[in-house]
Amino acid sequence: MTSTTDQSPAKASRSHPWIRLIVDYGGMALFFVAFVTKLRWVASAGGLGWTIAVGGHAPADVVQATVWLMIGSAAGLTLGLVVERRLAPMPLIAGGLALVFGGLTLVFHDPRIIKMKFTVVNAIFGLTLIGGLALRKNLLKRLLGEQLDLPESAWRQLSLRYALYFLCMATLNEAIWRTQSDRVWVLFRGPGEFGCVILFSLAQIPFMMRYLKSSEPPPPPTD
């Protein structure tokens, strides 16, 4: 999702769809590629410095791939800040937690930590939306209100749907990483999670078409 609280033309002109994709999914895409290709840092001959290795007989390693998740997340956030001169709140939270959980994963060399990051991010998003509804503050409307012209009742329903989606994804992540192999979990976090985002977004179109005064579908949620 993208923050749209500033409605000035100058702000809108700085919005670039390809930048949003990099900010939202760049870190996860690099993580997936690094895991599948066994992209990793290895000590150079003689123990002086480090070099990048690809493939080989080394097993695919979530911890090694986490390095690239952190690099991709930091680069995406930096690119978004430089080009658009802003950071949308949801990518900022997801990217910031990727750096925190990624750092802890590397320090303790424990892949369970980065796996739990997806659970924590989605739980935060879901509970925040529900908390906002309880306080009569529709946070989803604040994020997307400029892009979607919906009545208040539709905003409440859409916000609840997004909240339940995030909580379901958090629960699903917990079930998968605790019961399945690293490879299965990475497939879920890469193409699997992206597919869920697309399917969920498409499923909201019939609902919105009953109320929407604009033809734009909702942007997909991010982790």
What are the extents of the domains in the chain? 9-209
pLDDT per position as a tens digit, 35-92: 999 887 665 665 556 677 677 766 789 999 999 999 999 998 888 888 877 777 888 8
Single pTM value for the model = 0.80
Instruction: Tell me what pLDDT residue 208 has.
Output: 87
Instruction: Tell me what pLDDT residue 216 has.
Output: 53
Instruction: Tell me what pLDDT residue 82 has.
Output: 87
pLDDT grade, residue 7 (50/70/90)?
very low
Long-range contacts of 2-10 (CB under 8 A, 24+ apart): 2/88, 2/143, 2/144, 2/219, 3/86, 3/88, 3/89, 3/90, 3/143, 4/143, 4/144, 4/145, 4/146, 4/147, 5/142, 5/143, 6/86, 7/146
Which residues, listed in sequence order, are joined to residue 50 by a DSSP beta bridge?
43
Instruction: Tell me what pLDDT residue 39 has.
Output: 81
pLDDT of 19 strictly over 80: no
